[in-house]
Amino acid sequence: MKVMAQVAMVMNLDKCIGCHTCSVTCKQTWTNRTGVEYAWFNNVETKPGVGYPRRYEDQERWKGGWMLDKRGRLVLRSGGRVKRLLSLFSNPDLPSIEDYYEPVTYDYDNLVSAPAQDDVPVARPRSVLTGKPTAITWGANWEDGLGGAPEHAGGDPNLSGEWAQKVKFEFEQTFLFHLPRLCEHCLNPACVSACPSGAMYKRVEDGIVLVDQDRCRGWRMCATACPYKKVYINHATGKAEKCTFCFPRIEAGQPTVCSETCVGRLRYLGVLLYDADRVGEAAATPDEKDLLDAQRGVFLDPSDPQTVAAARRSGVPEDWLEAARHSPVYDLVMRYKVALPLHPEYRTMPMVWYVPPLSPVLDAVDAAGGDQDDPDHVFTAVTRLRIPLEYLAELFTAGDTDVVAGVLMKLTALRSYMRERSLGEVGDETALKAVGLTGREAEDLHRLLAVAKYADRYVVPAAHKEDSAALSAMENRCPVEFSGDAQPTDGRRVMLGIPTLRRRTSDAPAGGHL
Amino acid sequence: MTTSAADLLLWVALPYVCLAVFVVGHIWRYRHDQFGWTSRTSQLFEHRWLRWGSPLFHLGAFMVIGGHIVGLAVPDSWTEAAGISEHAYHTTAVWAGSVAGVAMVTGLGMLCARRLLTRRIRLGTDRSDKLLFPLLAATVLLGISATAAHNVFGAGYDYRESISVWFRGIFTLRPQPEAITGAPLLFQLHALTACLLFAAWPFTRLVHVWSAPIGYLSRPYLVYRRRAIAQAPVPHGAPAQQPGTRRSRHPA
């Protein structure tokens, strides 16, 4: 047993209002640079919808993630080692910029520099890539709040089964929820496995998956291999970039920027201990519907003395073990089992999990004339509802509706019980018992999900400085700048991804390659 | 046969200067610019032309490079000792060379076309590309024209008795400029642009050639790394910087 620790995330989708604060703060922190204008390390999608990049979940097309070959071995869907090297010259499965969107800026200058005239001056959109005026026809959240859904949302790859015929996009009959997405920092990352130059790696200490910018040679296989399409090509540097899980903040014991700024307080960060030796075996589980249990089987109980002893042998520090025992992620994923992974069938063992949204179900109860406070009505609705239960199952359980229904029932029972309690009643525990919760557990889960105090949501142990001088390199400076102590001797600062290209004012280049 | 100062300059001094720049340039670039060391892919912006142009160019280039190594580095006495007649050698060379050359020229033409015609790629073309693409195109076109003019349609020119002798002389440190002074002009120009191409190599995206990821065939799929145990941060561009100290300096 090789015990490793990972800082993992859970998002409670019932509380996501789709405000995009996480996306915007992430962008301002990490991708407000030339070359990655189109890249959103964190984005919020409206589901149903085709997503960003378009139809990224269609792995027949994009060849992301892993699959089992005829002999049951785990192989990358984009091909083996030889095929990968043969496709170095032209990667047949790489999304093009149109699959994301053409980034634009606006002629803001025109607003103040336009001559006096009868008409109000306007700021026209201009492509950042060509500098030409352009029409905005797509964006990272183009489908926000089901915008354009009657036209586009039918292209959602999750709407492939027969049941999908019943999904309607008319205003009165439709449903939606928001899905914030970032890099999953997988246990079995396909991007890392596909990187020909070995520039991508998973950190031993905290499981964060990173791209070594000095070793990336721009072979662009990671972008194809990632089934979540969360590795981006910086078109100015020609190198891959991705969500860093805000590692400078995590190392300092702080939550990621997307978590910190989430106004809905729906994100949870905590340590999960797992057995690295069993990851490959779990990812190769034959039946896709068993992958959820297989992944849960890899996680280790932090209060089990054997686990603790093995973790110590593997070099996990004491304060990390302590944090693992208080991990809200462990509680949601393992103790209460209300969190589910996004697309476990990609076999990457993702580490950002989701509490599925109950709201569309409650809407359906109302629509059917039921009482959404009555667990019986809701239970009935959950089991009878063909939509969106299958839809949620496509997203979170490889199509197993029983698991999603179980989670939704648990959340319904919790909601009903806590409503009674908060109205000063004793609380009927029969519904709780039916979903395997005690009154005390319900209070605990309610505190975690509904009250959601900062200290309960984020339990992030700081990195150990004694084994990381990289951290000290980060302490005194912005991660995208260099230390201000010495002026560069050659007068040319090469900053992270800020090239001389495409700057309209060429007299002030910030740096560049050659 | 006497050699003029100009010949010495062109066929001895220039090649050695270019070789020196090639070697020192690579060492400098490798030590100081790992971040810029990339193939600089533009597939994100355009993939239809790249899909054919890039494999044609690269595979053609592999064959052309192989042909050059055999033609320039191997003396004809060796191939004859191996039982390959002069005629058989040249027939094979002309045929294989033509196929490879046409593939490379077609591919490079497509790559240049997409670079010029796709505005967002053209705008992303930096100074090193503006040097590299014309130089590479000139070298390739001169090379294929020389072959076409003299060996496909012409009477045949035995470069193995002249240019190859000069080429080997450079590396055996016994330069023989007189061996190439009599060569046809197209061959001479091809040799000169090739020298310049080698000098430009370390400062362009051509460095990605040395990063061909052969190791991927045998390494384990998953890569784990510990947080770098680095020294105190070194100011950027400091002369004494060691390779590796900038590792994981820009993880993103």
Sign of CA dihedral A500, B211, A30, A61: positive
**pLDDT, tens digit, 9 for 90 and up, residues A236-292:** 999 999 999 999 999 999 999 999 999 999 999 999 999 999 999 999 999 999 999
Does some domain include residue B246?
Answer: no
Set of chain B residues whose Cβ sits within 8 Å of the Cβ of A192: 221-223
Token digits for B135?
Answer: 């130089």
Q: Do A514 and B204 touch (CB under 8 A)?
A: yes
Q: How confident is the model at residue A168 (pLDDT cuts 50, 70, 90)?
A: confident
- Mean pLDDT calculated for residue range A124-148: 93
pLDDT of B23 over the 80 cut: yes
pLDDT of B33 over the 70 cut: yes
- CB contact A238 to B (< 8 Å): yes
Q: Do A212 and B128 touch (CB under 8 A)?
A: no
* Among B170, B111, B181, B184, residue whose Cα is nearest residue B142: B184
Q: Do A30 and B252 touch (CB under 8 A)?
A: yes
pLDDT of B244 over the 60 cut: no
CA distance linking residue A414 with residue A417, whole number of Å? 5
- CB contact A68 to B (< 8 Å): no
Q: Do B232 and A469 touch (CB under 8 A)?
A: yes
Q: Map out the domains of chain A as residue ranges.
A: 13-235, 257-457, 484-514
Q: How buried is A137 (Cβ within 10 angstroms: 0-12 exposed, 13-18 middle, 19+ buried)?
A: exposed
Distances (CA, A) of A46 to A175, A392, B20, B163: 10, 13, 58, 66
CA A444: distance to chain centroid? Answer: 26
- Three-state SS across A8-19? EEEEEHHHCCCC
CA distance linking residue A250 with residue A156, whole number of Å? 34
Which residue in the set A193, A470, A500 is minimally distant from B227, CB to CB? A470
Mutate to test the interface with A, among B110, B120, B128 (most CBs of A within 10 A): B120
Q: What are A316-324's contacts with CB under 8 Å, separation 24+?
A: A316/A3, A316/A4, A316/A5, A316/A273, A317/A461, A317/A464, A319/A461, A319/A462, A320/A5, A320/A271, A320/A461, A321/A273, A322/A461, A323/A270, A323/A271, A323/A459, A323/A460, A323/A461, A324/A5, A324/A270, A324/A271, A324/A272, A324/A273
Size of interface A-B (CB pairs under 8 A): 217
Set of chain B residues whose Cβ sits within 8 Å of the Cβ of A198: 213, 215-216, 219, 223
Question: What pLDDT is recorded for position B5?
Answer: 92
Q: Do B208 and A30 touch (CB under 8 A)?
A: no
Does some domain include residue B228?
Answer: no
Q: Do B252 and A497 touch (CB under 8 A)?
A: yes
Strand pairing class (A340-341; A231-234): unpaired
pLDDT of A18 over the 90 cut: yes
- CB contact A137 to B (< 8 Å): no
Q: How confident is the model at residue A167 (pLDDT cuts 50, 70, 90)?
A: confident
What are residue B245's phi and psi, to 5 degrees? -70, -20
CA B234 to chain A, closest CA, distance in angstroms equals: 9
**pLDDT, tens digit, 9 for 90 and up, residues B67-88:** 999 999 999 889 989 988 888 9
Q: Do A501 and B126 touch (CB under 8 A)?
A: yes
Q: What is the DSSP letter of A86?
A: H
Does some domain include residue B151?
Answer: yes
Question: What pLDDT is recorded for position A261?
Answer: 97
Mutate to test the interface with B, among A201, A214, A493 (most CBs of B within 10 A): A214
Amino acid identity of residue B179, one-letter, is A
- Helices then strands, counting H and E runs in chain A, come out as 23, 15
Q: How buried is A67 (Cβ within 10 angstroms: 0-12 exposed, 13-18 middle, 19+ buried)?
A: middle
Name the percent of chain A lying above pLDDT 90.
75
CA distance linking residue A203 with residue B223, whole number of Å? 9
CA distance linking residue A388 with residue A67, whole number of Å? 26
What is the number of domains present in chain B? Answer: 1
Q: How confident is the model at residue B230 (pLDDT cuts 50, 70, 90)?
A: very low
Q: How confident is the model at residue A375 (pLDDT cuts 50, 70, 90)?
A: confident
Does some domain include residue B222?
Answer: no
Set of chain B residues whose Cβ sits within 8 Å of the Cβ of A202: 222-225
Name the least confident of A146-150, A236-240, A376-380, B240-244: B240-244
- Three-state SS across A237-301? CCEEEECCCCHHHHHCCCCCHHHHCCCCCCEEEEEEEEEHHHHHHHHCCCCHHHHHHHHHHHEEC
Name the percent of chain B lying above pLDDT 70.
89
CA distance linking residue A313 with residue A136, whole number of Å? 56
Does some domain include residue B32?
Answer: yes
- Mean pLDDT calculated for residue range A37-43: 97
Q: Do A467 and B229 touch (CB under 8 A)?
A: yes
- Average of per-residue pLDDT values in chain B: 89
pLDDT of A434 over the 70 cut: yes
* Among A329, A61, A47, A12, residue whose Cα is nearest residue A185: A329
Q: Do B224 and A204 touch (CB under 8 A)?
A: yes
Q: How confident is the model at residue A164 (pLDDT cuts 50, 70, 90)?
A: confident
CB A311 within 8 A of CB A450: no
Q: How confident is the model at residue A484 (pLDDT cuts 50, 70, 90)?
A: very low
Q: What is the DSSP letter of A133?
A: B
Distances (CA, A) of A150 to A147, A157, A167, A171, A285: 8, 15, 11, 9, 37
Q: Do B230 and A473 touch (CB under 8 A)?
A: yes
Residue A507 CB neighbour total at 10 angstroms: 5
CA torsion angle A129 A135 A141 A144 (round to 10):
170
pLDDT of A174 over the 60 cut: yes
- Mean pLDDT calculated for residue range A495-512: 39
Determine the residue of chain A that is closest to B200 in CA distance.
A514
* A 408-467 → B contacts, CB under 8 A: 463, 467
Set of chain A residues whose Cβ sits within 8 Å of the Cβ of B111: none
CA A180 to chain B, closest CA, distance in angstroms equals: 20
Structural domain containing residue B161: 5-214
Residue A35: which region, alpha, beta or left (left: phi > 0; alpha: psi -120 to 50)? Answer: left
**pLDDT, tens digit, 9 for 90 and up, residues B125-151:** 999 999 999 999 999 999 999 999 998
Q: Do B39 and A241 touch (CB under 8 A)?
A: no
CA distance linking residue B120 with residue A207, whole number of Å? 37
Q: Do A214 and B215 touch (CB under 8 A)?
A: no
CA distance linking residue A252 with residue A243, whole number of Å? 17
- Mean pLDDT calculated for residue range B12-39: 96
Three-class SS state of A181: strand
Distances (CA, A) of B187 to A300, A390, B61, B203: 69, 70, 18, 25
pLDDT of A185 over the 80 cut: yes
Q: What are B63-67's contacts with CB under 8 Å, separation 24+?
A: B63/B96, B63/B99, B63/B100, B63/B103, B63/B104, B64/B97, B64/B100, B64/B101, B64/B104, B64/B143, B67/B93, B67/B96, B67/B97, B67/B100
Set of chain A residues whose Cβ sits within 8 Å of the Cβ of B226: 203-205, 467
CA distance linking residue A232 with residue A237, whole number of Å? 11
Question: What pLDDT is recorded for position A233?
Answer: 97
Residue with tokens 């994009």: A62
- Mean pLDDT calculated for residue range A138-157: 91
- CB contact A315 to B (< 8 Å): no
* A 70-99 → B contacts, CB under 8 A: 81-82, 84-85, 88-92, 94-97
Which residue in the set A233, A467, A483 is minimally distant from B44, CB to CB? A233
Determine the residue of chain B that is closest to A201 in CA distance.
B223
Three-class SS state of A68: strand
Mutate to test the interface with B, among A74, A129, A494, A514 (most CBs of B within 10 A): A514
Strand pairing class (A3-12; A267-275): antiparallel
Does some domain include residue B144?
Answer: yes
Name the least confident of A360-369, A439-448, B228-237: B228-237
Set of chain A residues whose Cβ sits within 8 Å of the Cβ of B230: 469-470, 473
Q: What are B13-19's contacts with CB under 8 Å, separation 24+?
A: B14/B192, B14/B195, B15/B170, B15/B175, B15/B195, B16/B170, B17/B199, B18/B195, B18/B196, B18/B198, B18/B199, B19/B170, B19/B198
CB B224 within 8 A of CB A2: no
* Among A246, A240, A237, residue whose Cα is nearest residue A197: A240
Which residue in the set B51, B216, B248 is minimally distant from A85, CB to CB? B216
A447 vs A474 pLDDT, higher one: A447
Set of chain B residues whose Cβ sits within 8 Å of the Cβ of A212: 247-248, 251
- CB contact A32 to B (< 8 Å): no
Determine the residue of chain A that is closest to B40 in CA distance.
A238
Which residue in the set A30, A204, A482 is minimally distant from B236, CB to CB? A482
Does some domain include residue B236?
Answer: no
**pLDDT, tens digit, 9 for 90 and up, residues B86-108:** 889 989 999 999 999 999 999 99
Q: Do B250 and A213 touch (CB under 8 A)?
A: yes
Question: What CATH number is given to the structural domain containing B176?
Answer: 1.20.950.20
Q: How confident is the model at residue A385 (pLDDT cuts 50, 70, 90)?
A: low
pLDDT of A472 over the 50 cut: no
Helix (H), strand (E) at residue A76: strand A74-76
B112 vs B229 pLDDT, higher one: B112
Distances (CA, A) of A459 to A10, A185, A248, A330: 12, 18, 16, 11
Determine the residue of chain B that is closest to A4 in CA distance.
B224
Question: What pLDDT is recorded for position B48?
Answer: 96
Q: Do A214 and B250 touch (CB under 8 A)?
A: yes
Q: Do A514 and B39 touch (CB under 8 A)?
A: no
Half-sphere exposure of A424 (CA within 13 A, CB side): 0
- CB contact A17 to B (< 8 Å): no
Set of chain A residues whose Cβ sits within 8 Å of the Cβ of B25: none
A506 vs B22 pLDDT, higher one: B22
pLDDT of A309 over the 50 cut: yes
Determine the residue of chain A that is closest to B54 in CA distance.
A89
Sign of CA dihedral A309, A315, A320, A324: negative
CA distance linking residue A270 with residue A9, whole number of Å? 7
DSSP notation for chain B: ----HHHHIIIIIHHHHHHHHHHHHHHHHHHH-STT-S----TTT--HHHHHHHHHHHHHHHHHHHHHIIIIIS-HHHHHHTT--HHHHHHHHHHHHHHHHHHHHHHHHHHHHHHHHSHHHHHT--HHHHHHHHHHHHHHHHHHHHIIIIIISSS---GGGTHHHHHHHHHTT---THHHHTS-HHHHHHHHHHHHHHHHGGGSGGGGGGG--GGGGTS-S--EEPPP---SPPPTT-TTPPTTTTTTSS--
CA distance linking residue A183 with residue B196, whole number of Å? 45
* Among A276, A201, A267, residue whose Cα is nearest residue A231: A201
Q: Do A89 and B223 touch (CB under 8 A)?
A: no
What are residue A341's phi and psi, to 5 degrees? -80, 155
Mutate to test the interface with B, among A81, A88, A277 (most CBs of B within 10 A): A88
> A4 pairs with which residues across the strands?
A274
- Class of A257-457 per CATH? alpha beta
Question: What pLDDT is recorded for position B127?
Answer: 94
Q: What is the DSSP letter of A333?
A: I
